[in-house]
Amino acid sequence: MTYPTASHASSAQAHLGGEKSTELHPNILPQSREMGDVVPESSRPPVQNAENKPAAKPFAHFVAGGVGGMTAATLTSPLDVLKTRLQSDFYQAQLRALREAHPLPKTGSPLVTLPRIALLHFSETFQILRSIHVHEGWRALFKGLGPNLIGVVPARAINFYVYGNGKRILSDYFGYSGAKETPWGIHLTSAAMAGIATGTATNPIWLVKTRLQLDKSNAEHGKGRQYKNSWDCIKQTVRQEGIRGLYKGLSASYLGVTESSVQWVMYEQGKMFFARRHAAKAADPAHVPSFWDDVELWGGRITAAGLAKLIAAAATYPHEVVRTRLRQAPTVSVGDGKVQMKYTGLVQCFKLVWKEEGMAGLYGGLTPHLLRVVPSAAIMFGMYEAILRLMGATS
């Protein structure tokens, strides 16, 4: 009996050619060399190559970061205004006068004193928030939101873009194929690069935003507002302080890279923990998938984002105060209508605040800062992950 030569060739290719033969002849099923049995597709090891990897979408991080930052900034704007005012020396002077007029009763037990101080801090925070609404109107709670959004959208877009793509590039370079394998060193390096790039690119915008928020409706000595709008603030800053004036506080921004790096590393570790938990449940044959699995996964990510921001912000907060002070408008008059910067540098600012106000001055505005940044981080990272998923990309 004769056999078609084509079948012999196909059989030989199936035995000897392996994967290559199936690419050339997709209808041929691979067979075992020993027994000649058909090998199921599921039992064959996956082939790792560039074609199997999902296509990278660099600008998905840019878009997702920008939208997430814009949403979070709008919803938490009143607390941002309050935080900036409490960080300034003008409002710190008001608080000191208030505390001197209504001092706390002296007690010997710290277990009683610390809760009272914390309660007083929260009370003062919400009193000032209400005072802004009563005396300046609800619009004052959103003062500086325009330049804030102009700063937040590119800042978050740049930060997430540099971080997301930096992490991908470094992981590929060092051979880490999956997110679960990526070590914290990759996250730390990517976060540091993202922080430096973001701070350098957006410092002038944050300076204008800070000065507009500190520009009170009723200025001292019966004068009107110092700045008409954002453009007027830029012109006056350049005229009085030069181009370098737009980069006041940049050194403190670089110091703040520590905060963003700690936040990113802790967020990634928390996210990996919940991802492993989700994967373990999915691998359990007795587990029945449900809607609550996704709720737990996404709720865990949002919790990880908020908790990471809480710890990072509380640990590195003094740099926020110093950065705000360095961005303030000139506050010391030297005569003939001229003014001089009270704070001239990072170290000088730290020393002067410590000398004049002590440790409390370096933590001025911490309560509204945490009340703002923790939910803001949860909103921002939640939006970031959701938009990446909608765009078919991964973080």
43 exposure class (CB count in 10 Å sphere: 0-12, 13-18, 19+): exposed
Domain boundaries, the chain: 16-45, 60-390
pLDDT digits (tens, 9 = 90+) for 136-194: 787 888 887 876 788 889 999 999 999 999 999 999 888 887 666 788 899 999 999 99
CATH superfamily of the domain spanning 60-390: Mitochondrial carrier domain (1.50.40.10)
Residue 230 CB partners (closer than 8 Å, separation 6+): 146, 147, 150, 208, 212
Q: For the chain, how many residues are written?
A: 395
If one compares 29 and 354, the residue with the highest pLDDT of the two is 354
CB 252 within 8 A of CB 323: yes
Partners of 38 in beta bridges: 31
Mean pLDDT of the chain: 78
Q: What is the pLDDT of residue 369?
A: 82
Report pTM: 0.67
